[in-house]
Amino acid sequence: MGAPVSVAPAEFGSALRTLRSSQGLSLGDLAHLVNYSKSYLSRVETGKKQPTADLARHCDDALGGEGRLIRIAMSVPRRRTQAATTTPSVRQLPRSITDFVGRVDLLRQLDGTCPEASDGQYRGSPLVLVDGPAGIGKTETVLHWGHVAAERFRDGTLFADLNGFRQGGSPLTAEQVLRRFLYDLGETRADLKGMDAQQLGVPFRSLLTGKRMLIVLDNATRPEQVRSLLPASPGCMTVVTSRSRMPGLLARDGALRLQVPPMAPEESLELLATLDPESRLAQRPEYLDACGHIPLLIRIASRRNMNPEFYDSLYRRESAAMLRLFSMVGDDSTSLRSLLMGSYEVLTGEATWAFRLLGTCAEGWFTVRDAARLLDTGQSAAEELLSELADIHLLQYRDGQFAFDPVHRAFAIERAGAVESERNGCQV
């Protein structure tokens, strides 16, 4: 009969059942055809018994599987323990950097949200929203924490980049992500095919019942993109990252919000010292202020061979030079302009206009009333436009006032110039 093959029994069993049913055969019929007992086949189909290569071959021949069953039987590494055979171990967190600095408060808050079970009982499935502007360190902070906290999630980690706010990109739908997660968790039921996101959420939640898993949904755009992906099982935890403040996820789904602020000046200096202890950027606080204390920009600036004019333009915050400085040729996903375009593209036409105008004219911290005057609109219209900009962190908000950080202002000025040139018939 041969030795059991390297396969997750549930996956093989499910494929066998699907193929048998598609041929209109009962278990008894198949037992007769392949000369194995009906009870043995039943145990294989329900994932209780590991199939052998011989069985896979016989069933393939008998059911016209054209090698499918034998391919499944040979493709998946064997799980050794009982727990692992019922829960394929998934550890999907991408690599995190080795020179991570600071963010102690955020790491502590993430730790504090982790489900604890002092009496063996977990209560609720925490949901955390980590939000902030592009390059501020949302993903990196969650990854850094997730790798350290991984051992608290014994059943594994699921990770998906939902592809939100990417220039020219299209965000993944909840349905696409659920299909991938279900597949990664070993669910191969054929009847999933016709299901929508809401329906797919049911087997997903069932699979996670009783499990201790961390689910990281990176770069989300809207609450609908994540709602069907939320586990219900106490002991699981979901962390969503987004440039959006997602008020709906906080209000309706009770997410805990952790906003990632710019680095504190001493954190920026620590990062710089880690990257390049000789860096000229450390010589004047204005240089790091011009980077908005955004770690991505500090890293880019520290890696550039800057000539004295660049330092000068950074000091004077010249928009064109700043955008040039913070770009990496051939690597759009690391370039400031491309990152900010990803946010700019999702704005309504009116908000792009307000962004350009305010970025060019508004100074320091300003109020709704100031904005209404500059935009020449009523206060409620100005308030709506400001919320739209602040909700995706194109504008800073604090205590009823708004402000541009240097890089967002540089980008707004550049966009205003681009629109102007377009109007004048120039190529942008």
**Does residue 97 interact with ligand ADP by CB under 6 A?**
yes
DSSP lists the bridge partners of residue 241 as: 130
**Does residue 299 interact with ligand ADP by CB under 6 A?**
yes
> In whole angstroms, what separates CA 160 from the centre of its chain?
5
* Residue number, nearest CB to ligand ADP: 137
In the complex, minimum distance from the CB of residue 129 to ligand ADP, in angstroms, rounded to a whole number: 13
Q: Which is nearer to ligand ADP, 136 or 230 (CB)?
A: 136
User: In sequence order, which residues have a C-beta less than 8 Å from that of residue 150 and are 6 or more positions away?
Assistant: 91, 93, 157, 214
**Does residue 137 interact with ligand ADP by CB under 6 A?**
yes
Among ligand ADP, Mg ion, none, residue 88 binds (CB under 5-8 Å by kind): none
**Does residue 212 interact with ligand ADP by CB under 6 A?**
no
Among Mg ion, ligand ADP, none, residue 164 binds (CB under 5-8 Å by kind): none
Among Mg ion, ligand ADP, none, residue 278 binds (CB under 5-8 Å by kind): none
Q: Where are the beta strands (DSSP E) in 156-259?
A: 156-161, 213-220, 237-242, 256-259
> In whole angstroms, what separates CA 336 from the centre of its chain?
19
Choose among 78, 87, 107: nearest CA to 236: 87
Choose among 239, 258, 210, 237: nearest CA to 152: 237
The window from 60-68, 98-106, 222-230, 379-387 that contacts ligand ADP (CB under 6 A) reads 98-106
Q: Which is nearer to ligand ADP, 158 or 301 (CB)?
A: 301
One residue of 14, 50, 139, 228 binding ligand ADP per CB under 6 A: 139
Number of residues in the chain: 428
One residue of 7, 16, 59, 134 binding ligand ADP per CB under 6 A: 134
CA count, 13 A, side-chain hemisphere, 263: 28
The window from 2-10, 45-53, 97-105, 402-410 that contacts ligand ADP (CB under 6 A) reads 97-105
**Does residue 132 interact with ligand ADP by CB under 6 A?**
yes
In the complex, minimum distance from the CB of residue 221 to Mg ion, in angstroms, rounded to a whole number: 12
One residue of 14, 50, 52, 139 binding Mg ion per CB under 5 A: 139
Among ligand ADP, Mg ion, none, residue 323 binds (CB under 5-8 Å by kind): none
What gap in Å lies between CA 357 and CA 353, rounded to an integer? 6
- What would you report as the CA-atom Rg of the chain, rounded to the nearest whole angstrom? 27
Q: Given strand 156-161, what is the order of strands in its sheet?
A: 90-91, 156-161, 213-220, 237-242, 127-131, 256-259
> In whole angstroms, what separates CA 313 from the centre of its chain?
34
Q: Which is nearer to ligand ADP, 95 or 398 (CB)?
A: 95
What gap in Å lies between CA 137 and CA 10, rounded to an integer? 39
Q: Can you give the binding site for ligand ADP, defined by CB under 6 A?
A: 97, 99-103, 132, 134-140, 271, 295-296, 299
